[in-house]
A and B are shown apart, each in its own frame.
Chain A
């Protein structure tokens, strides 16, 4: 794997988190000063054991959680009460359980929900819905109720619901969980074909290696490592220190077809 060239030359990064700390009302401190930036068009994996604060971090990205110290900036716009509607349109979060994400009676209406909430209607709304469904290959399922799709199809529709909002950054929470190998591959192909910044929260290390040239390790509420995915996964001491384990028999050094460093 080559060294990753982070596009620092890009004028405004898609996402910039600095000094983010947060404690829940019950006193449990989840984040202790998180700093990182993601350039436009990058695909980055956020790795970390259970309880590392990954979900807490994700919920800060679109302002659902807040009130701690530190700042989150999305494409130059600070996350805060003033720009909330715009931030939620720019940060597309795909939650882990597609049944939570897909709450409308039909696929089409669900994909239309975000843009319609932003005030789009008529043919423009139809166009958005169609394009988003085409990008995930689900255009033939527009009038189906989500409950009657397979799990992999539901996950793809969940991605479309967020793509329809034309976000600056796509945040995926455990995108490969519960998928069979074929659906996993289909989703990977879709994610690779998208031209948006992606932050992928996962414990699925081979999937991270396949899709993301760069990875962050979040452990005990801080970014413990930031570097090319292949290098991080090959560093056994680092991996062990943060409770990250590769599947049996998987050697990241033997994988040649991993994600290439970003453009």
Chain B
């Protein structure tokens, strides 16, 4: 397949995790995140167990640790805020390496960091074992409003087309000696953005015309039925169920 056939998060494979129907994986990942978020933050060992569970799934999916960890970096901008919490939070303080930190803030930071990381890790695992297209089919199967699924699927289809158009406009600008330097040139960039918007809008109209011409009457026809057997559901839900046990133990201990 050509470059960029699959999105960058996806990792080709045919492990047991790859072959599970997409909607079971979506449901499992969502349930897992809900369970993780509802775990008390003091139960540090529980979070370690969650990480072990995810590592087990990654092993079954044959997703290498390096691949997973590199993609975890995406959460950095979000956890930057968590790092600030011990410094700005009020309340009881404790001295660490000569800095006075808030105890509540430390717990808060840990909470955000641990739960965020586990959530992102679960999502990365989902994305690396499920193609975008399949994810959409899964969402459709899980009864997400069809309009949202349609919008998402058009984004996938036309993202590249519009990026390409943007690139051509930039080349055309630069070929005529334009280079964006400073605020004075923002006007030109804004006009390009406006032109791109209008072009995309017009393309939308033409696409709609083509759809109507082929019998579109407001809802997407179902082309691929996705269905899951009981066994597939139970293997997908093994992860959130195991996590639920850990979570309950966390509350009781």
Contact = CB atoms under 8 A, between A and B. Distances in A.
* Chains A and B come from one and the same complex: yes
A97 interface: yes
Contacts of B206: 95, 97, 100
Interface stretch (B62-70, B140-148, B220-228): B220-228
A232 interface: no
Contacts of B177: none
Given A117-B221, A121-B222, A100 B210 contact: yes
A250 interface: no
A145 B203 contact: no
A147 B157 contact: yes
**Chain B interface mostly:** helix
Contacts of A146: 157
Interface residues of B, number: 31
B214 A88 contact: yes
A85 B214 CA distance: 9
Contact of B213 (A64, A102, A109, A145): A64
Interface string B1-23: 11011000000000000000000
Contacts of A109: 223-224
Nearest to B215: A117
Interface string B212-245: 1111110001111100000000000000000000
B207 interface: yes
Contact of B133 (A102, A106, A117, A165): A106
A105 B213 contact: no
A243 B206 CA distance: 27
B153 A104 contact: yes
Contacts of B132: 105
Contact of A103 (B5, B211, B221, B223): B211
A253 B218 CA distance: 50
B210 A103 contact: yes
Contacts of A144: 1-2, 5
A112 interface: yes
A179 interface: no
Closest 3 CB pairs of A and B: A116-B221, A117-B215, A114-B214
